Each structure stands twice: as structure tokens, then as C-alpha cells.
Amino acid sequence: MQEKSPVLKAAAFFEGTEKKLELIVRPGAASLRSLSHGFWRELVQSAKADILSHIANEHCDAYLLSESSLFVWHDRILMLTCGNSRLIDAACFLLSNLNAQLQLLGDESSTTVTPINSLTSNVEQDAIAFFCYQRKNEYQAELQSSTFAEDIARLRQLISGKAMRLGHLDSHHHYLFYSDRAYQAAKEDNTCELLMYHIGGELAQYVGSDGQDLNELKTKLKLATLFTQFELDCHLFEPHGFSMNGLWQQYYISVHITPQTVLYDASVNSSAYVSFETNLDLQQYPNLLADILQLFAPVSWDLIGFNCKVATNAFPAHLCVGTASLTSEQGYTILFSHYQQLQTEVFVPELM
Amino acid sequence: MQEKSPVLKAAAFFEGTEKKLELIVRPGAASLRSLSHGFWRELVQSAKADILSHIANEHCDAYLLSESSLFVWHDRILMLTCGNSRLIDAACFLLSNLNAQLQLLGDESSTTVTPINSLTSNVEQDAIAFFCYQRKNEYQAELQSSTFAEDIARLRQLISGKAMRLGHLDSHHHYLFYSDRAYQAAKEDNTCELLMYHIGGELAQYVGSDGQDLNELKTKLKLATLFTQFELDCHLFEPHGFSMNGLWQQYYISVHITPQTVLYDASVNSSAYVSFETNLDLQQYPNLLADILQLFAPVSWDLIGFNCKVATNAFPAHLCVGTASLTSEQGYTILFSHYQQLQTEVFVPELM
């Protein structure tokens, strides 16, 4: 065989793509930030993850996790986990326990007392106004402990909702479940996820290399210019991987870099996956996503948006492979789009 | 939600993408076609499939299977299976039993007698000159009974070889294992697979519709003009699906159509998968693949070739997303290329 001499690495496969849950409580419910640190630790541990560090401001607590991030505002929770973590267990933990915990704090919106660990389904009078659970297509779905179909079967024991897949099974796609109880989202309630596959250039080589320095990486990531106002909490993983939470006013950012198993030298074929997520109003920052795409130079990327208005004209030259858009009863315009760079990539055989 | 009114169908998911094995015996070995029908039935059943029908000419036996196809020439075997069939079990059955079966027939190339069911590994003096096992990325890999990594661990107990993945895990990719014993392939030993995803147009609607007629489908497939010289063996599955083997001299063709689960009306969003495979010299039929692509109008398609020379200039407008090419020690130039149409597809949410 005439392939180049391989530089085999012993790196184990790590699933970079994230699962995500969001939960919004009704007006009048006790502040989620009043819940004990022990509650959040238990929530995170139920997903088989750990809390690494924590930053906070008057609006939000941001926890950096061993597998991604947890953000807690007064009225909402956002949790992202990657790897083989079990976010579905955390979702069931929340749906089973949150009402009782809030009532202990004096929830004003709830009219019934739900015992801890109650599995009573579809309690319309509880504090949960909106719940959403999402899974991006995994690199190796067969290594996950559950399928999305299994996850939604469990969720539907606890809360009713709609579930769907956006995109084809053989390519990038996204699974989405959201509750169907009455709720109206605020127009400014927006989030945007930019998921970048097989990043390129100098940065790609650095994040796959050994002996990285956190300050050097932060410089290469241009954090000081891209996210000037944000307080940042960064973590470099051994041997590879980077996670970051950022807070500014009620806004968050989250960046996670996962160098995939690269059997060949990373200079030949980087396969790192990078996720970026924010609730910034991108109409105020029209070049932010394009700047991030220029920085990471991915082969392909996906956008997942809730009420997210994105200008794509400054994006690198691309084909938009496919797009889905729908409006939920809660007033969320949900977008999923899959983009591909225009160059033909030369695949290097990955020996097994 | 503002999506169109869904026409839900009860169709169960069926994995259309194929696994494939090829085995070539050394000159002097007994003809594989001398082996009993019972041997081939046992081989097919070991993969959890059944023989539906059979055609033959002086060069080849072609068996149509409940899950794809088996072709047997004097010196080689080609077996394709889809669904949840276990081609790896058939591969292990062959590698464990073929030598003994051939010796019962008077194999002249083998110097040792291998007992039936022997698991002796890496017998260099046996009748097997070349062995190849391949798996295309599945739509739902998590529903398969084994991973490719598990498959090659079993194969390596029986025969040594190289294994690799071509293409990224998050998009179309192909797994390949081939033996590394000394063998030189003939230049005219070529095969080409054209794998078509999400076909479009009138044909796509017909193959997803109820009450299909085999003759009408054959007309729509233009079989009489595309494959004039071939004797064809066609089968229409209930409720959907089509398989066809064709023989002409030493050449074969094989077509398999798998309508994927379409939760919405097929007129909105066809997801049928079609595979075409042949050992015709495509330099003699330079428009064949382009004609097939025009007929099925897929959203994306892959080419897998062994010594296969393909002109892509007549293909529908496309982006070649990525390509891999390598030359094996046996003299096979192995190609994997992934193509995408240039239109942005509008994904219809698939309710779950």
C-alpha cells in the first residue's frame, strides 16, 4: 500500500458531540439559583460527569464540567454534556426532582406538592414551563449508552412533548424533543450553536499536539478580541481537549474543543470537533460566527438556532447541504443547517 | 408548529447499506461452482439470510438473497448483505470451512488438510488467495449486531490483513479489510459500486408507493435499455424494496433499492437508498454511471472502486466532498469518493 508512513497514536476515541437540555421555570417559581450546590452536583453526577470549576455574576452561575457545561439562571437551566455521559439521566433527575426542590424553597407558582422522586407524568401545574432535550448526531452512535428513541421514551414518562429528527441519518442530523405545555417564549430568548467538524490550519495542529500551554492556546483562540467583555473560565484537558465558559451580563458563551482520534499525524489530517454556543443577539454581532469559522477553518459546520438570526454572507465559501426550519407553538423559530466547504477533501486512510 | 400535515407510515426501519465480502482462490483450486447447493445455503443462512432465486451461465452462479446477493464464479465469491444480516458470520464460516470443502473436491493447490470448522489462523498454504471484507457506513450503526472493529477482531483470528476507514465518522465513510498474503490481481479485475442516497423524481415516488407492479418498475428502471445483454433476476419485496442480479458472460450487475422509513409523504421527502454494482469495464461504458445517476437523481452518492476507471464529467452537477485513493500490495487501486448535489435540500422534520 502506498499511503504515507503512519504516525500511530494511542488516543482513545472521545465523543465530542454534545447532548443538551434546557429547562425554563414559570414566573413566580423560586429562583433556580437558590438551589443548593449539592443539588447541582447531584444533577451533574447523575449524568456521569463532574463539576470542575464555577464562575458567576448577578444573572448566572456557570459550571465547567468534566464533560462540557452547566449554566443556571434564575429562571432557566442549560446543560451540555459530551463523551459517554448520560444527559438523559440528568434530564430525568431534573424532571423528577425539581418541583419538590423548588417547593421546599417556596415556589409560588405551583399548586400541588410533588414528593421527591415522584414519577407523576405531565403535571400541568408544576413549575416547569418549557423543557427541551437535544442530541446532535454522534460520531459513533453505537458507543452511546442509549439511543434518542430510548431517551424520548423515558422523557415521555415524565413530560409530554414533540420529538423529531432534522436531517438525514446518513449525514449530519439533529434530534430534538420539546415539551408541548402552554408557554410563550420571549422574542429575545435566542440561542445559537455553531458545530465545527475537522478544523484546519495552525490552530488545528496546535489543539492536537502534546504539551499545550493554556495561555498560548487562549492567544491562538483570540479570546481577548473575540469576547472582550466576557469573564472566562477555561480548562485544558490531559492529554488533549479544551473547554471554556464565559459570562457577561445575562449572556453566556461556551466553547469545547475535542481532538478526535487521529491515527495519522495531525498535520496530515486533523479531525478536531469544536462547538461554540451563545445567547448573544447575533444581529448585534453580525461577524462573530464568520470570525469563528475563519479561526477554526472547518471542513463542514452546522448551525442550530432558536430564534437566532444569522447572516451567512461572510461565511467561508460553502455549499449549504441542507436546512430545516420550523416554528414551535412556544414561538421558537428552530433552525438546523448543514454547511460544507467547497474544496474536495483528500481523506487519509485511518488504519485500524 | 407550522410543518405540513404529516402522512405517517408504519414502515419499520430497514438498513439498506451493504456489507460485502470477496474471496478469490488460488489457481489450481477446485472450482467453487463444484461446491454443493447445500454449502451455499449454509453460507447464506450463517448470515441470517435466505436464497430466494438463482440464475447461472457458464461463468457464474448468481443467487438473489432475502438480503441482497451472492455471486459464485469458478475462482471467486462475492457476497453482499444488508439489513441486520450478519455477513461477518458468513465470512468466518467461509474462512473456517472453505479449504476443507475444496479439498474434498480435490483441490490441487493446497498441501495441508484442514478439518472442517478448524480455526487455525493464517494458513499460508491454503486455497484462499485474497479475501476482502467491507462495510459501508450504516444509517443506524447502533442497530447492528456488531461493529466493524469487532468484525475485524474475529477475522484476524482466521486470516491476517489490513483494515482501515476511508472518510470521516460524521459523514459518509467506508470500512475495508483485506488479506495481506501474496497475490497479484489481474488488471481487468475491477469492480465499481455506486451508492445513491435520497433518490428523487418520479422513480423515487414509485418505489416508496404501495401496490407496485414488477413489470412497471422494470420499465421505469429502463432495464431493457441500460442492461440489454444481461439476463436479469428481479424480486419485488413486500411492502417495498427491489433487488436484481444480472449476468452476461463473466460480468455481473446487482441493483438493490431500499425505501427508508419515510414518516412523511414520500412526495415530500424520499429517502430511498439504491446500490448498483458491477464488474463491467466502465471505460467501455463511459456513460453508464451518469445514466444511472440521472435515472435516480440522488441527493448524494458514493463511489467505491477496485481498479475502476470512472469519468465523472457527465455526472449531475455536484461537489466532490472528499476522496481517498490507495494502491494495495495486490495491485488494486482502491477508490472511495463522496459526492453531493449542489442544491440546498430542505429537510422535512421527521416526527418520532
Instruction: For residue A322, list its beta bridge partners.
Output: A338, B345
Cβ–Cβ under 8 Å, residues B305 and B335? yes
Across the A/B interface, how many CB contacts are shorter than 8 Å? 143
Q: How far apart are alpha carbons B253 and B195 in whole angstroms?
A: 13
Q: Which pLDDT band, with edges at 50, 70 and 90, does A6 fall under? A: very low
Contact check, Cβ <8 Å, A324/B348? yes
How confident is the model at residue A108, as a pLDDT? 56
Cβ–Cβ under 8 Å, residues B78 and B71? yes
Q: Which pLDDT band, with edges at 50, 70 and 90, does A120 fall under? A: very low
Look at A22-36, A149-163, B207-221 and tell me which has the smallest mean pLDDT.
B207-221
Instruction: For residue B343, list its beta bridge partners.
Output: none
Tracing cell 482501515 back to the chain, one arrives at B164
Cβ–Cβ under 8 Å, residues B147 and B177? no
The stretch A274-285 carries a mean pLDDT of 96
Q: How far apart are alpha carbons A261 and A13 in whole angstroms?
A: 5
Cβ–Cβ under 8 Å, residues A122 and A160? yes
Cβ–Cβ under 8 Å, residues A162 and A180? yes
**B231 to chain A, minimum CA–CA distance in Å?**
33
Q: Which residues, numbered 97 to 116 in chain A, qualify as contacts with chain B under a Cβ-Cβ cut-off of 8 Å?
A: none
- What does the angle CA B91 – CA B128 – CA B166 come to, to the nearest 5 degrees? 55
Give the whole-number percent of chain A exceeding pLDDT 90.
76
How confident is the model at residue B162, as a pLDDT? 97
Q: Which residues, numbered 125 to 144 in chain A, qualify as contacts with chain B under a Cβ-Cβ cut-off of 8 Å?
A: 137, 139-142, 144
Cβ–Cβ under 8 Å, residues B72 and B39? no
Q: Inform me whether the C-beta atom of residue B153 falls under 8 Å from chain A C-beta atoms.
A: no
Give, to the nearest 10 degrees, the angle between helix A148-155 and helix A87-105: 20
Contact check, Cβ <8 Å, A326/B260? no
Residues sharing a CB contact under 8 Å with residue B58, sequence separation 6 or more, in sequence order: none
Flag whether the ipTM exceeds 0.90. no
Instruction: List Cα–Cα distances, A323 to A197, B6, B33, B345, in angstroms.
Output: 17, 18, 51, 6
Q: How far apart are alpha carbons B186 and B331 in whole angstroms?
A: 8
- Containing A130, the helix (H) or strand (E) segment is strand A128-136
**B328 to chain A, minimum CA–CA distance in Å?**
4
Q: How far apart are alpha carbons B34 and B280 in whole angstroms?
A: 25
- Containing A89, the helix (H) or strand (E) segment is helix A87-105
Q: What is the DSSP string of B148-170?
A: HHHHHHHHTTT--EEEEEES-TT
How confident is the model at residue A107, as a pLDDT? 54
Contact check, Cβ <8 Å, A352/B165? yes
**A35 to chain B, minimum CA–CA distance in Å?**
34
The stretch A181-198 carries a mean pLDDT of 95
Q: Inform me whether the C-beta atom of residue B120 falls under 8 Å from chain A C-beta atoms.
A: no
Instruction: List Cα–Cα distances, A329 to A191, B4, B14, in angstroms.
Output: 17, 14, 33
Closest C-alpha among A64, A39, A68 to residue A51 = A64
| Per-residue pLDDT tens digits for A199-222 | 998 888 888 888 899 999 999 999
Query: What contacts 24+ positions apart, CB below 8 Å, involve A207-216?
Result: A207/A240, A207/A242, A207/A257, A207/A259, A207/A272, A208/A240, A208/A259, A208/A262, A208/A266, A208/A270, A208/A272, A209/A266, A210/A239, A212/A236, A212/A240
In B, which residues are within 8 Å of A149 by CB distance?
352
| Per-residue pLDDT tens digits for A43-52 | 999 999 999 9
Burial class (CB in 10 A: 0-12, 13-18, 19+), B27: exposed
Closest C-alpha among A315, A191, A232, A283 to residue A64 = A232
Contact check, Cβ <8 Å, A349/B326? yes
The stretch A282-309 carries a mean pLDDT of 96
Q: How far apart are alpha carbons A232 and A237 in whole angstroms?
A: 16
| Backbone torsion region of residue A122, taken as left when φ is above 0, otherwise alpha when ψ lies between -120 and 50, otherwise beta | left
CA atoms within 13 A on the CB side of A31: 10
- What does the angle CA B168 – CA A137 – CA A319 come to, to the nearest 5 degrees? 60
**A138 to chain B, minimum CA–CA distance in Å?**
7
Shortest CB distance from B198 goes to which of A168, A197, A352? A168
- End-to-end Cα separation, chain A, in angstroms: 14
Q: How far apart are alpha carbons B349 and A291 in whole angstroms?
A: 30
Q: pTM (2 decimals)? A: 0.90
Q: Inform me whether the C-beta atom of residue A166 falls under 8 Å from chain B C-beta atoms.
A: yes
Shortest CB distance from A197 goes to which of B164, B170, B273? B170
Q: Which pLDDT band, with edges at 50, 70 and 90, does A270 fall under? A: low
In A, which residues are within 8 Å of B326 by CB distance?
1-3, 349
How confident is the model at residue B11, as a pLDDT? 46
Q: How far apart are alpha carbons B98 and B30 in whole angstroms?
A: 11
The stretch A100-105 carries a mean pLDDT of 90
Shortest CB distance from B323 goes to which of A147, A172, A346? A346
Cβ–Cβ under 8 Å, residues B334 and B305? yes
Which ranges of A253-348 would DSSP assign to H, the alpha helix?
A: 288-296
CA atoms within 13 A on the CB side of A72: 20
Shortest CB distance from B336 goes to which of A144, A148, A347? A347
Q: Inform me whether the C-beta atom of residue B270 falls under 8 Å from chain A C-beta atoms.
A: no
* pLDDT tens across the length of chain B (352 residues): 343 333 334 346 788 999 999 999 999 999 999 999 999 999 999 999 999 999 999 999 999 999 999 999 999 999 999 998 999 999 999 999 999 999 988 755 544 544 444 444 444 458 999 999 999 999 988 889 999 999 999 999 999 999 999 999 999 999 999 999 999 999 899 999 999 999 998 888 888 888 899 999 999 999 989 999 999 999 999 888 999 999 999 999 999 999 875 544 444 446 799 999 999 999 999 999 999 999 999 999 999 999 998 989 999 999 999 999 999 999 999 999 999 999 999 999 999 9
The stretch A94-111 carries a mean pLDDT of 81
* Res A103 pLDDT > 80: yes
Q: What is the DSSP string of A193-221?
A: EEEEES--HHHHHHHTSSS--HHHHHHHT
Shortest CB distance from A347 goes to which of B319, B324, B352? B324
How confident is the model at residue B107, as a pLDDT? 54
**B151 to chain A, minimum CA–CA distance in Å?**
11
In B, which residues are within 8 Å of A200 by CB distance?
none
Q: Which residues, numbered 328 to 347 in chain B, qualify as contacts with chain A under a Cβ-Cβ cut-off of 8 Å?
A: 328-329, 336, 340, 342, 344-347
| Per-residue pLDDT tens digits for A169-178 | 999 999 999 9
